[in-house]
Amino acid sequence: MRFEWWIRAAALSLVSVGLSTLPRPTAVGDEVFQVVLGERQLFVDDVGTDQMSNLIRTMHQPEKRGALIRPDKFQGEEAIQVRGAPVWDPHQRVFMYWLSGTKARYRTSPDGLHWTAVFPDGLSSATAGSSMMVRDPADRDPTRRFKAVRQSSGFVVSPDGIRWTKLDVPPIPGRDEGNFSYNSQHGLFIHTYKRGGPYGRSVGLATSTDFERWTDHGLIFHADAEDQRVGRQRIAARFADPNLHHPAYDIPATYNVDVYNMAVFRYESLYFGLPQMYHQTGKVPPDWPGFDKLPISDEMLVNYRRDGDWAGFHDVQLMSSRDLKSWRRLGNREPFLTASHLGAGAWDECSVSPPSYPLVHGDELWFYYTGAKYYGPVLLEHGRHRPSNAICLAVLRRDGFMSLDAGPAPGTVSTKPFVLPGPELFVNIDARAGSLQVEALDAAGKVIGASRKISGDRPHGKVSWESSQLGQLAEKVVRLRFTLRNGSLYSYWFEGGRRHTDQ
Residue-wise pLDDT for 91-105, tens only, equals: 999 999 999 888 888
Q: How many CB atoms lie within 10 A of CB 345?
A: 9
Nearest in space to 205 (alpha carbons), one of 185, 184, 223, 222: 222
Q: Which residues contact 371 (CB under 8 A, 6 or more apart)?
A: 67, 340, 346, 347, 348, 349, 351, 352, 353, 389, 390, 391, 392
Alpha-carbon dihedral of residues 41, 45, 48, 53, nearest 10 degrees?
Answer: 110
CATH architecture of 30-58+403-495: Sandwich (2.60)
The number of C-alpha atoms within 13 Å of 277 and in the hemisphere containing its C-beta is 31
Return the CA Rg of the chain: 24
List pLDDT tens digits, range 327-362.
Answer: 899 999 999 999 999 998 999 999 999 999 999 999
Percentage of residues of the chain with pLDDT beyond 90? 67
pLDDT at position 378 = 58
Determine the distance from the C-alpha atom of residue 349 to the mean position of all C-alpha atoms in its chain, rounded to a whole number.
Answer: 20
Q: Would the pLDDT of 325 be above 90?
A: no
pLDDT value, residue 186 = 85
d(C-alpha 313, C-alpha 107), whole Å: 28
- C-alpha 263 chain-centroid distance: 6
Q: Give the model's pLDDT for residue 476.
A: 87
- Report yes or no: 36 and 44 within 8 Å, Cβ to Cβ: no
Q: Determine which helix (DSSP H) or strand (DSSP E) holds 271, and give its type and residue range.
A: strand 270-284
pLDDT at 376 over 60: yes
- pLDDT at residue 496 in the model: 87
Residue 238's H or E segment, with its range, is helix 225-240
Q: Which CATH number fits domain 63-399: 2.60.410.10, 3.30.420.40, 2.115.10.20, 2.30.40.10?
A: 2.115.10.20
pLDDT at 4 over 50: no
In the chain, where the domains are located: 30-58+403-495, 63-399
Distance CA 16, CA 327 (A): 8
- Pairing mode of beta strands 389-397, 364-372: antiparallel
pTM of structure: 0.90
Tally: H helices and E strands in the chain = 2, 37
pLDDT: is 80 or 19 the higher one? 80
The Cα–Cα gap between 451 and 438 comes to 5
Residue 385: pLDDT band with limits 50, 70, 90: low
Instruction: pLDDT band for 121, please (50, 70, 90 cuts).
Output: confident
Cα gap 18→467, rounded to integer Å: 48
Interval 227-266: pLDDT, tens: 999 999 999 999 999 999 999 899 999 999 999 999 999 9
- Provide, rounded to the nearest whole percent, the portion of the chain with pLDDT above 70: 88
Contact 412, 54 (CB under 8 A): yes
